[in-house]
Amino acid sequence: MITLATTKDIQDIATLYKSSWQNTYKELVPEDYLQSLSTKEIQTKWQLFLADAHTSPNIYLYRDHNQLLLGFIAIKQERHIGEIYALYVAKEAKGKGIGKLLFQTAMTYFETLRIGQVRIWVMQKNYPAVAFYQHLGGILEQTRTSTFDTYTVIDEAYRFDVFLSNT
């Protein structure tokens, strides 16, 4: 079931975010960086994200029938462009359509706001994520570098065009 997150969900979001980073990026960023991730700092990050009234942030959650958080997508708006800030699915739930469902929920939301383009940044060497976004129709738009401690990675921005209805 997909629901909209509140500050009460921050602990679950931080837990999934941290485990996702440690599982997904273990070959992409240094292990000591991944092990240094602080749950408390991550909680603060997501509290600040939800509190930013300038970007109209939302976090959609996917919970199973036992209310276990299996995925989330964080979205915001910057200058009439939608941004998928984060999309994470629990390791044990990957390949079950949860990421696609969360992505479609975000795109529907952006359409209701009449936002025609959406962007997401992904690490270039995160091949499963790159393939996922390309499969969904993402168009490579630009690259940038990100630094984690002293380690640098290349990120790619994928653009999605939202097909707005005439209503």
- What DSSP designation does 36 have? T
Whether residue 164 is predicted with pLDDT greater than 70 in this model: the reply is no
Q: Is residue 63 part of a domain?
A: yes
Is 123 inside any structural domain? no
Sign of the alpha-carbon dihedral angle for 81, 108, 128, 73: positive
Q: What is the count of structural domains for the chain?
A: 1
**CA 132/CA 119 separation, integer angstroms:** 14
Whether residue 127 is contained in a domain is answered as no
56: helix, strand or coil: coil
- Residue 133 included in any domain: no
Give the separation between CA 142 and CA 2, rounded to whole angstroms: 31
Range of the domain at 112: 2-118
* Strands annotated E in 43-150: 58-63, 69-78, 81-89, 117-123, 139-148
Confidence (pLDDT) at 71: 98
Report the predicted TM-score, pTM, of the whole model to 2 decimal places: 0.93
Residue 10 lies in a domain: yes
Confidence of residue 162 (pLDDT cuts 50, 70, 90): confident
Task: Tell me the per-residue pLDDT of 132-151, one tens digit each, with 9 for 90 and over.
Answer: 999 999 999 999 999 887 88
Residue 158 within any structural domain of the chain: no
CATH of the domain at 62: 3.40.630.30
